[in-house]
Structures are given as structure tokens and as C-alpha cells.
């Protein structure tokens, strides 16, 4: 069986023991221990050692080899039963109901793989189509088509458990736990008390991802918050609590209380940078005074359409001298590009030389568009001064972006920015956005362990007017805020005055 498709990473006994130790500190003695994807059964073994006198142990596993080995492993144990079962074709609701009021502990480590990854390798280890239909589809159910199969598994189990006096304790990615909880919180379904105890996934599974032991203690309470602890060990610390506040998911509830005055409406429009999906053709470097493309060819074209480019790696590292240049074929989305033929014939010839590559760009956004189209382009791209941030880097650091040899610098589509009218304006906002107050506020609403922690949705919540009031410089800010929307196509220009709050 394919290790990736089945998320096959067996949990080391040392980690299993730490999990069992932590659970045994709770005043909860399980009557039944269930491991839904038990593999070689390390969790069953650990739980048996702790609770053998009182409990019944049931493990499920899809893989023939593991099922056989694990059945043999426990053949001499009392009360241990291993069943061969595909998680996705089993009615967990019905099964768990059979235990009536018995205290159930669901333990283990479900596969951490994503459904699109399974699709990419031609795998089938997913909820079955018929199941999808019965449940009106994952997309309909969850409002999205992309999910970790652990997310599906934990939601299924929690839905079946939510009325039992039980505990669920599963290892998973932090983002999975968050998505599971958000699913229940947003639907206002009470599931009880939740906590995450961080583990070192690099050490235990050789994967670089933030992961935890995710515990739900099922009660009728609807607390809508979860506590995150530093580790499983005795000396663990409470790091933060995340949860819902006024229908928004907040990553640090305590800090949020303190900095929520910065949560509002940014009348600057945050933009993402240029998207072209053809870096080998469109992006150029300079070597020995010559422009070189991604194929290593010398590119002899006019200067007209060439702009300096900053990438996420530049912005993320505070580097504002460009290492790359980009061909900007349009001034706004959808603009006719034929004009390049007369204004810059060598550029037109170069683009035509690579027409197959440019026409072959996969994304449907390029279909039925002018030749050599790009996206993320508008008047705002050409403002000489900008304040930008990388969406990919974990450090929250805003960068002031000046022009380069009189040309506006472009950012790539993994960066966000606002455009400014002057150096003073860009300087002013860079200082305020990098203030410790702003960083604490952003840290309280974003989840730094997400792939893209900084999003437009996060940035547009920054209340620039309140930020300037905090620093006693609203007079200056008001001057800038008045014209902030001006450069945005079709954007209204908002005037901020004392006392008005756009919440
Ligand atoms: C991350 S491993 C964990 C194994 C074991 N629980 C442990 O912690 O050592 C995930 C296990 O899930 C099993 N698995 C994957 N897909 C499954 C499915 N659809 N139904 C049941 N088990 C599955 C894999 O074979 C693998 O043994």
C-alpha cells in the first residue's frame, strides 16, 4: 500500500506513552478504547498497559499486512479486538451508539494526507462518492472541496461522539484541529472542551508541520474556545487560547481583547502583486550587463515594458534592491497588448518567440484574454511608493518599497501591498504598521502556522485610523487616508474624520 495515500506513519512508542500519561492525569477512566486507524497498534498497546483491568480495546485498520500483524500481536491479550475496516465505509454513528453510556476514549493518529494529494497520485483512500452524496458532498457540507482526510475523520468521529460521555485524543496537524473546531463552532454545535498539546512532528514523524495531540472532552458546553499547551510533558505551559469572538476566528483571545481597537476597516486597498505563471519567459536577471531569461538565453528587448521585481523572498528578508526584472505587458487587466508590436517591436518579437509557453499557461484565467496577459495589474501597480509584506514568510514585517531608477517596483503574487503617493506617506505607514501594537494585534488574529498566514482578509481588517490615533498622529494620517482609495480602480474614496469608525 502507498505510504503517502494512506498517511502511513506509525507513532513511536515513546510518544504514545507520553500521550497515555497525559490522558491518565484526567479524572477519566475509559470503559472502551477505540483506535479507528490503528496500524501496528502502538496506541492500543500503550492504553492496554495503563487501563487493562477496566477496559475493552478495539482497533480498526484497512491495511491487510498491518491487520494481520496487529491481530497476531494482540492474540494473547484479553479484551483486545482488531477489525479490518475502511474508515470511510463504516457507520460510526451507529457503531458508537451501541456503547450506550459507556465512557469511550477514541485515541490514535489518523492519516495526515490531503485529498488533493491523494487525487494527484491517483489514490482512492477518500470518503466514497456514494457517501459524499449521502452526506450531500464534502463541499456542500464543509463549504470547500479541499480537505485533509484527518479533518473528515475527526469530524465524523466527533459528530458520532458529541452526545457520549467520552474523550477524543488524536494526533493531527494544528490546522486540522482548528478546521474541525471551526466547523462545529460556526455551526453552533456544542462539542465541549478542547485543547491542543504541541508535539515535535519533525522529531517523531520527520515532517515539518505544526502538530499536536488534539483532545476533545465531549460535554454539552458550547465554549467555542480551545487552549494550546507547549508540550505533552509535566512542565507544559499554556501558550494561548484561540476561539470565536463575534463570529470571527481569533488566534489569541487574550491579546485580542487588548488590541481589538485595531480591528476595523482599512481604507487603503490591499493588493496582491503580479501574476503571470511564466517565470522563465517573463522574469529576467542581469548578468554582465545583459538580461537573461529563465532558459539562460540573452534577452535583447526595449526597456519600455521591463520593471524591477521584488519577490516574497526579498520582501520577507527586508531586501528592497531587485534581483529580478519582469515584463509588464499591460497597464490594467484585459488591456489589448497589440500596441507592443509598434511601441516595442523587439519585446513583441520576444513574446511571440515564447507564444506556445505563454498560451499554454494552465490557469483558466488566461483563456480568451489578449495575448501575453498578466494579472494583479492596475494603476495601483505603478505607484512609485508602496508598503508591502510577504504572505509566505512567518515574520510580520512591512517593507517600504521605493522606486528603482525612477521605475515603480513590482511585487510578485505572493506579496501584498498598499500604494502610496509619496515617500513620506510610505514611511509613515511602514513605521506604524511595524509597531509592536500592530504586530501583537496581527498575531492575535492570524494563525502563523498556516501556509499563508497573512491574507488580504487579515490585512483589510487593519484599522489605519485607529492605529494613527494610538500614535497621536491622526492629523497626518487623515491627509493620507482621505486619498487612499483614489488609486484603486472603481474604489470609493473614503474620508476619515475624528469620531467616524468604519467597523
Ligand atoms: C498515521 S498512521 C497511524 C497508525 C497508528 N494509529 C499509529 O499511531 O501508530 C495512519 C494509519 O491509518 C491507516 N489508514 C489509512 N487509511 C485508512 C482507512 N481508510 N481506514 C482505516 N485505516 C486507514 C494506515 O494504514 C495507517 O496505519
The model's pLDDT over 369-379, given as tens digits with 9 standing for 90+, comes to: 999 999 999 99
CA of 232 from ligand 1 middle (Å) equals: 22
Beta-bridge partner residues of 402: none
Tell whether the model's pLDDT for residue 136 goes beyond 70: no
Angle at CA of residue 330, ends 325 and 332, nearest 5°? 120
Alpha helix segments (H runs only) across 199-292: 201-205, 253-259, 279-282
Q: What angle do CA 169, 247, 170 make, to 5 degrees?
A: 10
pLDDT of residue 215: 98
Q: Is the CB of 308 under 6 A from ligand 1?
A: no
CA–centroid distance, residue 43 to ligand 1 (Å)? 12
38 CA to centre of ligand 1 in angstroms: 6
- Band (pLDDT 50/70/90 cuts) for residue 1 is low
Taking the centre of ligand 1 as the mean of its atom positions, its distance from the CA of residue 124, in whole angstroms, is 14
User: Is the Cβ atom of 109 under 6 angstroms away from ligand 1?
Assistant: yes
**Closest C-alpha residue for ligand 1 atom 4:** 39
Least confident of 107-116, 322-331, 405-414: 107-116
Mean pLDDT, rounded, for 390-402: 92
**In the structure, what pLDDT confidence band is assigned to residue 134 with cuts at 50, 70 and 90?**
very low
What does the pLDDT look like over 190-203, one tens digit per residue? 999 999 999 999 99
3-state helix, strand, coil in the chain (%, to 5): 35, 20, 45
Q: Is residue 39 in contact with ligand 1, taking CB distance under 6 Å?
A: yes
Question: Which atom belonging to ligand 1 lies closest to the Cα atom of 39?
Answer: 27
pLDDT of residue 452: 81
Centre of ligand 1 to C-alpha 375, Å, is 42
Q: Are strands 399-401 and 211-217 parallel, antiparallel or unpaired?
A: unpaired
Q: How far is the CA of 492 from the centre of ligand 1 (A)?
A: 53
Tens-place pLDDT, residues 257-286: 999 999 998 889 999 999 999 999 999 999
42 lines ligand 1 (CB under 6 A): yes
- The pLDDT of residue 9: 84
Q: How far is the CA of 126 from the centre of ligand 1 (A)?
A: 13
For residue 327, give the H/E element and its range: strand 324-327
d(CA 239, CA 231): 10
> What's the 35 CA to ligand 1 centre distance in angstroms?
9
What is the CB neighbour count within 10 angstroms for residue 110? 22
3-state secondary structure at position 45: helix
Distance 464 CA to ligand 1 centre (A): 48
Confidence (pLDDT) at 154: 96
Cβ–Cβ under 8 Å, residues 169 and 191: no
pLDDT level of residue 55 (50, 70, 90 thresholds): confident
Of 13, 19, 62, 213, best ligand 1 pocket probe by most atoms within 8 Å of the beta carbon: 62
Contact 37 CB / ligand 1 (< 6 Å): yes
Widest CA span of the chain, in angstroms? 86
Take atom 12 of ligand 1 and give the residue whose Cα is closest.
37
Ligand 1 atom, smallest distance to 125 CA: 19
Query: Degrees (nearest 5) of the Cα angle 439, 444, 448?
Result: 80
Which pLDDT score is estimated for 144? 54
41 pocket-lining for ligand 1 (C-beta < 6 Å) = no
- Model confidence at 221, in pLDDT bands (50, 70, 90)? confident
Q: Tell me the pLDDT tens digit for each residue of 145-175.
A: 567 889 999 999 999 998 788 999 999 999 9
Cα(370)–Cα(351) distance, integer angstroms: 13
Least reliable range by pLDDT among 4-13, 60-69, 183-192: 4-13
Centre of ligand 1 from the C-alpha of residue 156, in Å:
15
- Give this prediction's pTM: 0.78
Q: Check pocket membership of 90 for ligand 1, CB cut-off 6 A.
A: no
Percentage of residues of the chain with pLDDT beyond 70: 90
Residue for grid cell 506579496 = 415
C-alpha cell at 479: 491627509
Identify the pLDDT of residue 130: 41
Residue 488 CA, distance from chain mean position:
27
Query: Has residue 116 got a pLDDT over 70?
Result: no
Q: Determine the pLDDT at residue 488.
A: 45
Mean pLDDT of the chain: 89
pLDDT in tens, 330-370: 999 999 999 999 999 999 999 999 999 999 998 889 999 99
CA of 36 to the centre of ligand 1 (A): 8
Residue 61 in contact with ligand 1 by CB distance below 6 A: yes
**Closest ligand 1 atom to Cα of 63:** 25
**62 pocket-lining for ligand 1 (C-beta < 6 Å):** yes
Q: 469, 394, 458, 477: which is closest to 263 by C-alpha?
A: 458
Tell me if 63 CB under 6 Å of ligand 1.
yes
- Cβ of 125 below 6 Å from ligand 1: yes
How large is the average pLDDT for residues 395-421?
95
Query: Which of the four pLDDT bands, split at 50, 70 and 90, describes residue 216?
Result: very high
Question: Hey, whose CA ends up nearest to atom 15 of ligand 1?
Answer: 6
Phi and psi, residue 171, nearest 5°: -80, 135
**How confident is the model over 83-99, as pLDDT tens digits?**
999 999 999 999 999 99
Q: Is the CB of 204 under 6 A from ligand 1?
A: no
Q: Is the pLDDT of residue 496 over 50?
A: no
Percent of the chain clearing pLDDT 90 (strictly above): 77
Would you say 62 and 110 are in contact if contact means Cβ atoms under 8 Å apart? no
Looking at residue 501, what is its pLDDT?
Answer: 30
Residue 8 Cβ contacting ligand 1 at under 6 Å: yes
**Residue 206 CA, ligand 1 centroid: distance in Å:** 17
Beta strands 399-401; 271-272: pairing state: unpaired
Is the per-residue pLDDT at 503 higher than 80?
A: no
User: Where residue 288 falls among pLDDT bands split at 50, 70, 90?
Assistant: very high
- Is the pLDDT at 497 greater than 70? The verdict is no
Confidence band for 119, pLDDT divided at 50, 70 and 90: low
Residue 92: CB within 6 Å of ligand 1? no
Task: Choose which residue among 13, 19, 39 to substitute to test ligand 1 binding: the one with the highest number of ligand atoms within 8 A of its C-beta.
Answer: 39
* Range of weakest confidence among 2-6, 343-347, 362-366, 470-474: 2-6
β-strand 56-61 against 211-217: which pairing, if any? unpaired
Amino acid at each position: 500500500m502507498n505510504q503517502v495515500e494512506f498517511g502511513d506513519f506509525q507513532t513511536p512508542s515513546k510518544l504514545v506513552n507520553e500521550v497515555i500519561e497525559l490522558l491518565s492525569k484526567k479524572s477519566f477512566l475509559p470503559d472502551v478504547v477505540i483506535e479507528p486507524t490503528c496500524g501496528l497498534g502502538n496506541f492500543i498497546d500503550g492504553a492496554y498497559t495503563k487501563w487493562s483491568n477496566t477496559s475493552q480495546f478495539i482497533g480498526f485498520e484497512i491495511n491487510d499486512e498491518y491487520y494481520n500483524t496487529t491481530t497476531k500481536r494482540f492474540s494473547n491479550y484479553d479484551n483486545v479486538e482488531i477489525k479490518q475496516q475502511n474508515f470511510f465505509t463504516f457507520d460510526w454513528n451507529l457503531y458508537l451508539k451501541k456503547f450506550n453510556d459507556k465512557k469511550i476514549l477514541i485515541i490514535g493518529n489518523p492519516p495526515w494526507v490531503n485529498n488533493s494529494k491523494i487525487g494527484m497520485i491517483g489514490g482512492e483512500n477518500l470518503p466514497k462518492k456514494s457517501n459524499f452524496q449521502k452526506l450531500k458532498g464534502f463541499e456542500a457540507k464543509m463549504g470547500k472541496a479541499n480537505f485533509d482526510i484527518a479533518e473528515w475523520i475527526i469530524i465524523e468521529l466527533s459528530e458520532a461522539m458529541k452526545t457520549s460521555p467520552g474523550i477524543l485524543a488524536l494526533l493531527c496537524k494544528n490546522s486540522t484541529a482548528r478546521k474541525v473546531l471551526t466547523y462545529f463552532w460556526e455551526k453552533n454545535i456544542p462539542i465541549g472542551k478542547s485543547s491542543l498539546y504541541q508535539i515535535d512532528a519533525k522529531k517523531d514523524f520527520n515532517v515539518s508541520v505544526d502538530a499536536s495531540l488534539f483532545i476533545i472532552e465531549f460535554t454539552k458546553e458550547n465554549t467555542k474556545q480551545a487552549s494550546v499547551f507547549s508540550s505533552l510533558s509535566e512542565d507544559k505551559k499554556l501558550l494561548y487560547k484561540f476561539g470565536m469572538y463575534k463570529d470571527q476566528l481569533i488566534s489569541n483571545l487574550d491579546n485580542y481583547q487588548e488590541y481589538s481597537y485595531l480591528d476595523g476597516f482599512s481604507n487603503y486597498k490591499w493588493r496582491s502583486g503580479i501574476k503571470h505563471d511564466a517565470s522563465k519567459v517573463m522574469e529576467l536577471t542581469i548578468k554582465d550587463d545583459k538580461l537573461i531569461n529563465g532558459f539562460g538565453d540573452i534577452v535583447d528587448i526595449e526597456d519600455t515594458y521591463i520593471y524591477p521585481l521584488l519577490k516574497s523572498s526579498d520582501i520577507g528578508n527586508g531586501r528592497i534592491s531587485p534581483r529580478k526584472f519582469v515584463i509588464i505587458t499591460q497597464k490594467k487587466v484585459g488591456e489589448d497588448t497589440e500596441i507592443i508590436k509598434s511601441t516595442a517591436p523587439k519585446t513583441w518579437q520576444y513574446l511571440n518567440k515564447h507564444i506556445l509557453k505563454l498560451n499554454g499557461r494552465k490557469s483558466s484565467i488566461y483563456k480568451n484574454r489578449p495575448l501575453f496577459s498578466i494579472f494583479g495589474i492596475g494603476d495601483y501597480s505603478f505607484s512609485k511608493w508602496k508598503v508591502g509584506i510577504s504572505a509566505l514568510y512567518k515574520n510580520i514585517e512591512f517593507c517600504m518599497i521605493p522606486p528603482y531608477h525612477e521605475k515603480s517596483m513590482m511585487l510578485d503574487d505572493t506579496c501584498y501591498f498598499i500604494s502610496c503617493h509619496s515617500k513620506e506617506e510610505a514611511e509613515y505607514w511602514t513605521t506604524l504598521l511595524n509597531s509592536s501594537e500592530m504586530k501583537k494585534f496581527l498575531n492575535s488574529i492570524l494563525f502563523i502556522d498556516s501556509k499563508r498566514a497573512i491574507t488580504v482578509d487579515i490585512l483589510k481588517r487593519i484599522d489605519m485610523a485607529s492605529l494613527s490615533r494610538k500614535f497621536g498622529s491622526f492629523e497626518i494620517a487623515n491627509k493620507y487616508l482621505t486619498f487612499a482609495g483614489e488609486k484603486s480602480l472603481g474604489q470609493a474614496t473614503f474620508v476619515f474624520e475624528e469620531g467616524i469608525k468604519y467597523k
